[in-house]
A and B are shown apart, each in its own frame.
Chain A
Amino acid sequence: NAGVTQTPKFRVLKTGQSMTLLCAQDMNHEYMYWYRQDPGMGLRLIHYSVGEGTTAKGEVPDGYNVSRLKKQNFLLGLESAAPSQTSVYFCASSYGADGGNQPQHFGDGTRLSIL
Chain B
Amino acid sequence: AQKITQTQPGMFVQEKEAVTLDCTYDTSDPSYGLFWYKQPSSGEMIFLIYQGSYDQQNATEGRYSLNFQKARKSANLVISASQLGDSAMYFCAMRDPYNAGNMLTFGGGTRLMVKP
User: Which residues in A have some Cβ–Cβ distance to B below 8 Å?
Assistant: 31, 33, 40-45, 48-50, 56, 58, 88, 90, 92, 94, 97, 99-101, 103-106, 108-109
Q: Is the CB of A104 within 8 A of B52?
A: no
* Closest-CB distance, A99 to chain B (whole angstroms): 7
Q: Report how far A27 CA is from B91 CA in the complex, Å.
A: 24
Q: Is the CB of B91 within 8 A of A105?
A: no
Q: Is the CB of A106 within 8 A of B45?
A: yes
Q: Which residues of B contact A43 (CB under 8 A)?
A: 45, 91, 93, 104, 106
User: Which residues in B have some Cβ–Cβ distance to A below 8 Å?
Assistant: 4, 33, 35, 37, 43-45, 47, 50, 52, 91, 93, 95, 97, 100-109
8 A-B contacts (beta carbon < 8 Å): A31-B101, A41-B108, A42-B4, A43-B45, A97-B100, A99-B102, A106-B44, A106-B45
Given A42-B109, A45-B104, A48-B101, A101 and B33 touching (CB < 8 A)? yes
Q: Is the CB of A88 within 8 A of B43?
A: yes
Q: Report how far A108 CA is from B44 CA in the complex, Å.
A: 5
Given A42-B106, A42-B109, A101-B50, A50 and B43 touching (CB < 8 A)? no
Q: Is the CB of B106 within 8 A of A100?
A: no
Q: Report how far A92 CA is from B44 CA in the complex, Å.
A: 11
Q: Report how far A109 CA is from B47 CA in the complex, Å.
A: 15
Q: Is the CB of A109 within 8 A of B44?
A: yes
Q: Which residues of B contact A50 (CB under 8 A)?
A: 100-101
Given A101-B52, A105-B47, A31 and B102 touching (CB < 8 A)? yes
Q: Which of A42, A45, A94, A104 has the most CB of B within 10 A?
A: A42
Q: Report how far A88 CA is from B45 CA in the complex, Å.
A: 12
Point out the residue from A45, A103, A109 that lies within 8 Å of B43, measured CB to CB. A109
Closest residue of A by beta carbon distance from B4: A42
Q: Report how far A88 CA is from B52 CA in the complex, Å.
A: 29
